[in-house]
């Protein structure tokens, strides 16, 4: 967390939390959602300012409920997640988040809608995290996988990565937040 954020929190300790104004989409893009976007279920405008994106990502945290937020000075701005708190890209043989943090893969899942969910660790973040594989990397992922014709026990196939074979386990999209302890749509 930035030092300027810590100082603002100490100076103004009782600033109310904000909900609905910030979202993380399925491609790892931060989006600002004004009242109109919120009322009409729109995704909002992408944040294009690199300095603001970097500030958000340096101050991106999770509370005890599993609700992710951006600590904006003294205010917690809770993030509506389109799918998971992290979106990862597959670069050659390594994974990293869309915020350029290394992601160490531990397990693979495929949900009932064809999404690839990964669990692992993000540098600088405590505990096992859930991440959605960016849709631009699905072809590369599939090319590195062996798929069974139908579910074979508890696995759908194997993902060949970094000299090892990881089982691709089935998971229901609705089960992902529960399994990994996060909240997609935080509320007060």
The whole-angstrom separation of Cα 116 and Cα 137 is 10
| pLDDT score at 12 | 64
Residue with tokens 């909002």: 44
Tell me the average pLDDT of the chain: 91
27 phi, psi to nearest 5 deg: -110, 15
Instruction: Report the pLDDT averaged over residues 122-127.
Output: 91
CB 96 within 8 A of CB 128: no
What pLDDT, on the 0 to 100 scale, is given for residue 15? 76
Contact 77, 69 (CB under 8 A): yes
For the stretch 131-178, pLDDT in tens is 999 999 999 999 888 877 555 556 789 999 888 899 999 999 999 999
- The residue extents of the domains of the chain are 3-81, 86-180
- Across 112-117, average pLDDT: 95
pLDDT at 14: 74
Q: What is the pLDDT of residue 97?
A: 93
pTM: predicted TM-score of the whole model, two decimal places? 0.88
Provide the percentage of residues in the chain whose pLDDT is more than 70.
93
The fold of 3-81 is: duf1285 like fold (3.10.540)
What was the pLDDT predicted at 93? 79
What are 18-61's pLDDT values in tens digits?
Answer: 999 999 999 999 999 999 999 998 999 999 999 999 999 999 99
Q: Comparing C-alpha atoms, which of 67, 26, 25 is closest to residue 47?
A: 25
CA dihedral sign, ordered 83, 87, 90, 95: negative
């Amino acid at each position: 967390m930035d030092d300027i954020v810590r100082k603002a929190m100490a100076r103004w300790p009782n600033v109310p939390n904000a909900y609905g104004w910030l979202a993380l989409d399925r491609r790892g893009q931060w989006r600002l959602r004004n009242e109109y976007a919120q009322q009409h279920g729109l995704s909002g405008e992408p944040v294009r300012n690199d300095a603001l994106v970097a500030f958000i990502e340096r101050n991106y945290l999770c509370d005890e409920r599993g609700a992710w937020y951006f600590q904006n000075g003294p205010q917690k701005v809770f993030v509506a997640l389109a799918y998971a708190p992290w979106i990862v890209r597959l670069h050659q043989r390594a994974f990293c988040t869309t915020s350029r943090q290394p992601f160490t893969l531990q397990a693979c899942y495929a949900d009932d809608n064809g999404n690839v969910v990964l669990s692992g660790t993000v540098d600088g973040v405590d505990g096992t995290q859930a991440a959605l594989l960016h849709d631009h990397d699905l072809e590369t992922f599939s090319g590195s996988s062996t798929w069974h014709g139908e579910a074979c026990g508890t696995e759908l196939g194997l993902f060949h990565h970094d000299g090892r074979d990881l089982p691709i386990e089935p998971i229901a999209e609705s089960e992902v937040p529960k399994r990994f302890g996060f909240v997609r749509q935080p509320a007060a």
